[in-house]
Amino acid sequence: MEEIVHRTVEVNGIKMHVAEKGEGPVVLFLHGFPELWYSWRHQILHLSSVGYRAVAPDLRGYGDSDAPEPLTAYTCFHLVGDIVALIDSLGVDKVFLVAHDWGAILGWYLCLFRPDRVKAYVCLSVPFRPFLGRNPQQKTVDMFRALYGEDYYICRFQEPGKMEAELARVDTGYLMKNILTTRQTGPPIFPKGEYGTGFNPHTPETLPSWLTQQDLDYYVTKFSKSGFTGGLNYYRNLNPNWELTAPWTGVGIVNVPVKFITGSVDLVYTSPGMKEYIHDGGFKKDVASLEEVVVQEGVGHFNNQEAAHDVANHIHDFITKF
């Protein structure tokens, strides 16, 4: 895609696939589930055209990066260790960080553990609070289990092999289309016993304007090869992560300037209590260096793709301050 360079680097004991383009200060993009470096294709082209070196890896367990077999190889320390080693490999001390979904959670961990490596952070979709300094089993999962029953997706991701077996019942193309085009608000719910229509019961017959068949085919090719276990293992380490990060309980983000961008119909933003946390002071209390919150009207969870150019402009406007 327009001279994006692909290479493999050795970081933190694994081989990581990296896509990059441009010269200048580094903007590092971290994708979520179930995504790839490709989710940032538009932002890579935009930022590289205005004087930045845009870098987007396939995270551990995804795409063309290594996917270690042990479940214990996917803790927050392993994942953040990959990112720090990747920054080292780029030959820079600090990066502008942009991240979405699970990448956003890793971004918060990076700002918490190694703020010395981040100039500024543009976070998409997932604010600081989820799973950080709180027991997800006793707090977050129990709350959603009470609201939605045993079908709540984090509950069901926990058992190795169970969700993989359900996802394998349907075509990968349908699965990716189902997830990427969802407009359902609130946390995603998988039907109990079989995947069925997934968490998007209104999967469109035709693709939306922001997602081409070529885009979908890229995801299908990569996930058909790698499967989903690597990405699911991030969820399966929620409880270990809570235990490992006990020393940071109650610690917020202070030294990294932050801009937060979400869609008005994002499934995280519309989850119970999330709007109140973001807008009524809780988010700012936890992230003292939060400078701006942007809500994109009518945009769903995958705003880095659905509202790609708007997101790219927001990123550029923010990082030019530093």
Q: Is the dihedral of CA 261, 266, 267, 269 positive or negative?
A: positive
Distances (CA, A) of 133 to 111, 173, 241, 248, 315: 14, 36, 9, 7, 27
Q: What is the pLDDT of residue 80?
A: 98
How far is it, in rounded angstroms, from Cα 188 to Cα 179?
A: 9
Estimate to the nearest angstrom the gap between the alpha carbon of 61 and the chain centroid: 13
| Residue numbers of the domain that contains 25 | 5-320
Q: What is the pLDDT of residue 196?
A: 52
Mean pLDDT of 64-86: 97
Which two tokens mark 248?
A: 């940071």
How many domains, the chain?
1
Told to judge if 301 belongs to the known catalytic residues of this protein, a careful annotator would answer yes
- State what percent of residues in the chain have pLDDT above 70: 85
CATH number of the structural domain spanning residue 113: 3.40.50.1820
Q: What is the pLDDT of residue 11?
A: 98
Q: Is the pLDDT of residue 150 over 70?
A: no
Mean pLDDT of 6-27: 98
Told to judge if 153 belongs to the known catalytic residues of this protein, a careful annotator would answer no
Q: Which residue type sits at 238?
A: L
Which residues, at least 6 apart from 148, have a Cβ–Cβ distance to it below 8 Å? 187, 189
pLDDT tens digit sequence for 172-217: 898 899 889 888 777 665 555 455 555 566 777 789 999 999 999 9
Select which of 152, 219, 235, 277 is catalytic.
235
Of 272, 15, 268, 238, the residue nearest 109 (C-alpha): 238
Told to judge if 46 belongs to the known catalytic residues of this protein, a careful annotator would answer no
Which residues, at least 6 apart from 302, have a Cβ–Cβ distance to it below 8 Å? 35, 39, 100, 180
Cα angle 270, 275, 281; round to 5: 165
Select which of 78, 301, 314, 316 is catalytic.
301
Under 8 Å between Cβ of 176 and 223:
yes
How far is it, in rounded angstroms, from Cα 310 to Cα 314?
A: 6
Q: Is the pLDDT of residue 151 over 50?
A: no
Q: What is the pLDDT of residue 131?
A: 56
Work out the pLDDT band at 258, boundaries 50, 70, 90: very high
Q: What is the pLDDT of residue 146?
A: 46
pTM of the predicted structure, to 2 decimals: 0.92
Select which of 58, 64, 66, 101 is catalytic.
101
